[in-house]
Amino acid sequence: MTSFDPEILQDFLTESGELLEMLETDLVVLESTPRDPELIDKIFRALHTIKGSASFLALTNLVRIAHAAETALNLARSGEVVIDRPLMDLLLEAVDVLKVQFVELEAGEDLTEPEPRLVDALNQIGAETPVAATATTDGGGGGAPDMPSAWEGLPGATIVPLDLPSEKADLIDFFIMDLEESLSRFQEIVDQLADASMRESASDELVGCAESVGKSVEFFDLDDMMS
């Protein structure tokens, strides 16, 4: 398991553990109100925060299941799917996996790998071609996905291949998807800032999103994105 300062790990276990408890309680409430947009958004944000913090600690197995659940919930947030009984069962199963992983993390043990069946089922709900479920690494301890050809030829663009250790290369796909989601969310938040009644909450969320992206950028040593 990745070695981190005990204080950092304890902070993660405390803060994310509280979110996990809240998440489980909120899912139970959501069973009776499956179309409640505020509750769905609250659950999504809790998963997103847990996943983001786990990414910083390179807890790949934890990130994988949290991201899959988050991906499925994202479509519920947009109203494209309804959280029915089968989806709720999958989400509760994902929370059970997270709870086991938290116990293992606290005990200093390797984290349980989530069942491919569960990850695939959640990803299939969230996307027709789930990137996280199909992504592979070369197993040689490094590397990163090919850069999209759309970047080639852009004025001032310089493509620099990433040389990442295996534990970070395993997470790069999640980072790319998170970055895309965050950029989309940034625009929504900026629009909310124009509404005086939403300005305070939107400002807080904007800071939170920026800090989350900043931590991920720092984790992957992408200094040019910070300048």
Q: Give the pLDDT score at 220.
A: 66
**pTM of this structure:** 0.65
Cβ contacts of 186 within 8 Å, gap of 6 or more: 206, 209
**Listed residue (70, 40, 42, 52) closest to 12, CA to CA:** 52
CATH topology classification for 1-132: Four Helix Bundle (Hemerythrin (Met), subunit A) (1.20.120)
What pLDDT score does 143 carry? 43
pLDDT of residue 112: 95
Q: pLDDT tens track of the chain, all 227 residues?
A: 556 678 889 999 999 999 999 999 999 999 999 999 999 999 999 998 999 889 888 899 999 999 999 999 988 988 889 999 999 999 999 999 999 999 999 999 999 999 999 999 999 998 743 333 333 333 344 444 444 544 455 565 566 666 777 666 766 676 676 777 777 777 778 888 888 887 887 787 787 777 767 766 766 666 665 55
pLDDT of residue 72: 93
- The structural domains of the chain, with segments of one domain joined by +, span 1-132, 160-221
- Cβ proximity of 85 and 32 under 8 Å: no
Q: Tell me, what's the pLDDT at 200?
A: 83
Contact 114, 97 (CB under 8 A): yes
- In the numeric block, the tokens 């997270």 are attached to 98
Query: What pLDDT was estimated at residue 147?
Result: 45
What one-character DSSP code corresponds to residue 140?
S
Q: Of 16, 22, 24, 126, which is closest to residue 77 (Cα–Cα)? A: 126
What confidence score (pLDDT) does residue 107 get?
94
